[in-house]
Amino acid sequence: MESRKMLSEAETNKSADQVASFDFDLFVIGGGSGGVRAARFSANFGAKVGICELPYHPISSDKHGGFGGTCVIRGCVPKKILVYGGTFGGDLEDARNFGWELSEKIDFNWKKLLQKKTDEISRLNGVYKRLLSSAGVKTFEGQGKITGPNEVEVTQIDGTKLSYTAKHILIATGSRAQFPNIPGQELGITSDEALSLEEIPKRVVVHGAGYIAVEFASIWRGMGSEVHLVYRKELPLRGFDDEMRAVVAKNLEGRGIVLHPSTNLAQLIKTEDGIKVITDHGEELMADTVLFATGRAPNSKRLNLEAVGVQVDKIGAIKVDEYSRTNVPSIWAIGDVTNRMNLTPVALMEGTYFANTVFGNRPSKPDYSNIPCAVFCNPPLSCVGLSEEQAIKQANGDVLVFTSSFNPMKNTISGRQEKTVMKLVVDAATDKVLGASMCGPDAPEIMQGIAIALKCGATKAQFDTTVGIHPSSAEEFVTMRSVTRRIPVGTTPKTNL
């Protein structure tokens, strides 16, 4: 309703302006979270917008993509669907002590889940296309390429090429999972394929311990697979709070995942019994599936950036200023292709701010402080603000750490041995809460509201004056009365775990 109204107003404005020397005010390459948001919002401001995206396919490649992008088609959404599917495994175990008698034989039909997941993302792909067309954005299916500071070329599926001029070009082509350079790497898969496997693997080796690695490890374990997690560091989830990393490691192990810390993969060999995985310690593991979750690289190679001189960094990420502008003034970039903070809501924020800056007459810089995030391993981890290690490094005074480790009420009956852990990191001098983290059921849902409080500089006292919701896990965040430890200013945190 509102967007339509603004569009018609914009049309009136434009006819008055009479400066339509370009085909488009904005041409967006890439129809993922950031690109779609920027396109829609720019159109709402009255801009004439075109957007191109590769044809839809659940697995991305040089030839395939789809409106909705990584998040909708090969990331957050299908991942979360599988997480839901996998979580039932543990839930069913827990049900017995609550009085439920379950048949010994419980079937899990992977093909059914896969089909429903694919149906859902196909539906969402359609939703995204409709969102664009109802916002008045012209969509193109094909590979986008930059041919000049104000010129793009779209190669359509049938090979025909279209060329358009645009006042502004926005690159929002995202990123793609990478294969490590080891012998036999072609035997492994990435998260793209893992979301669309034909069969549920009986034995899996996951290489890496970032959020994607631990999420897939949890999914498969929940579905009954034997899962090995192989990673270079002492603990999974580098970059997160060390104490919480240890909690996640313990929980993954508690749920039956075999951890191989301080280990690298040396080689994969195809055998009759499956893939033989050899580690750098000489250990041999047999697997039906080997997942590489060792990193993602920006999709900047096929954009022809060299032709116009758009600068990229060593890993291929497009360099941008605080307003998401590249070194070529008419070319902008947002989302994973810029490798700033690779999260959907951050790409959305960058897309919104880009539209505000370029077409809304309101230059605005995305604010990267206190951005919450979640890892959907089982149980999940969520956090906002600084880790204890970051707080110690950055604080000008003492840091107070409040922790709570408790047996969630559900476990008192189910008998599951798994603690929920919560943590607040507080600046002793100002009482400001610098960081919050939680590992336990519902952590991502719980953290969202806490994130608002942190974003606005809430103090520990403000947490304490909030009354709890009883009985919940979340109430623990407002009832942490005694300091677990005080870290004096000048302490060097132990790192490189």
Partner 1 sequence: MAVATSLTVTTPKKLSSLSSPTLHSLFFSKALSFSPSSSSFLSLRKTLLLSPSHHTRTRRRSFTLSASANPHNYDFDLFTIGAGSGGVRASRFAANYGASVAICELPFSTISSDVTGGVGGTCVLRGCVPKKLLVYSSKYSHEFEESNGFGWKYESEPKHDWSTLIANKNAELQRLTGIYKNILKNSNVQLIEGRGKIVDPHTVDVDGKLYTARHILVSVGGRPFIPDIPGSEHAIDSDAALDLPSKPEKIAIVGGGYIALEFAGIFNGLKSDVHVFIRQKKVLRGFDEEIRDFVGEQMALRGIEFHTEESPQAIVKSADGSLSLKTNKGTVEGFSYIMFATGRKPNTKNIGLESVGVKIDKKGAIEVNEYSQSSVPSIWAVGDVTDRINLTPVALMEGVALAKTLFLNEPTKPDYSYVPSAVFSQPPIGQVGLTEEQAVEQYGDVDIFTSNFRPLKATLSGLPDRTFMKLIVCAKTNKVLGLHMCGEDSPEITQGFAVAIKAGLTKGDFDATVGIHPTAAEEFVTMRTPTRKIRKTNPSEGRSECEVKAVAGT
Annotated binding-site ranges for NAD(+): 208-215, 295
- The helix (H) or strand (E) run that includes residue 139 is strand 138-148
How many residues touch partner 1 under the rule CB under 8 A: the total is 79
Residue nearer to partner 1 on the CB measure, 220 or 292? 220
- Is residue 470 part of the annotated active site? The answer reads yes
Contact letters (x/-) for partner 1, 366-405, by CB under 8 A? -x--xxxxx-------x-----------------------
Tell whether residue 98 is a contact of partner 1 (CB under 8 A). yes
For residues 122 and 56, is the Cβ–Cβ distance under 8 A?
yes
Residues 6+ apart with CB under 8 A from 76: 344
Report angle CA 187, 342, 454 to the nearest 5 degrees: 140
Near partner 1 in 327-366, by CB under 8 A? 343-346, 348-349
For residues 220 and 201, is the Cβ–Cβ distance under 8 A?
yes
Query: Applying CB under 8 A, which of residues 6, 7, 59, 95 lies at the interface with partner 1?
Result: 95
Residue from 322, 311, 422, 442 nearest 374 by CA:
442
Sign of CA pseudo-dihedral 105, 110, 115, 117:
positive
Residue nearer to partner 1 on the CB measure, 93 or 273? 93
Whole-number Å distance between alpha carbons of 319 and 297:
14
For residues 336 and 307, is the Cβ–Cβ distance under 8 A?
no
Residue from 72, 74, 64, 61 nearest 33 by CA:
72
Interface segment toward partner 1; rule CB under 8 A; list 57-65, 179-187, 327-335, 470-478:
470-478
Tell whether residue 84 is a contact of partner 1 (CB under 8 A). yes
Tell whether residue 160 is a contact of partner 1 (CB under 8 A). no
Residue from 236, 198, 234 nearest 217 by CA:
236
Contact letters (x/-) for partner 1, 184-213, by CB under 8 A? ------------------------------
Near partner 1 in 400-419, by CB under 8 A? 409-410, 412-413
Closest approach, Cβ 152 to partner 1, in A, equals: 29
Query: Applying CB under 8 A, which of residues 7, 57, 59, 88 lies at the interface with partner 1?
Result: 88
Closest approach, Cβ 98 to partner 1, in A, equals: 4
How far are the Cα atoms of 21, 42, 138, 478 from residue 10, in angstroms, in the given order? Answer: 17, 11, 16, 48
Closest approach, Cβ 427 to partner 1, in A, equals: 16
Whole-number Å distance between alpha carbons of 384 and 466:
19
Closest approach, Cβ 33 to partner 1, in A, equals: 9
Tell whether residue 453 is a contact of partner 1 (CB under 8 A). yes
How far are the Cα atoms of 223, 233, 356 from residue 255, in angstroms, in the given order? Answer: 12, 20, 46
Query: Applying CB under 8 A, which of residues 4, 8, 13, 102 lies at the interface with partner 1?
Result: 102
Tell whether residue 431 is a contact of partner 1 (CB under 8 A). no
Closest approach, Cβ 227 to partner 1, in A, equals: 18
Question: Which residue out of 64, 168, 281, 470 is catalytically annotated?
Answer: 470
Query: What is the DSSP pairing of strand 373-375 with strand 420-427?
Result: unpaired
User: Which residue ranges make up the annotated binding site for FAD?
Assistant: 80, 144, 173-175, 336
Query: Applying CB under 8 A, which of residues 159, 329, 471, 490 lies at the interface with partner 1?
Result: 471
Which residues are known catalytic residues? Answer: 470
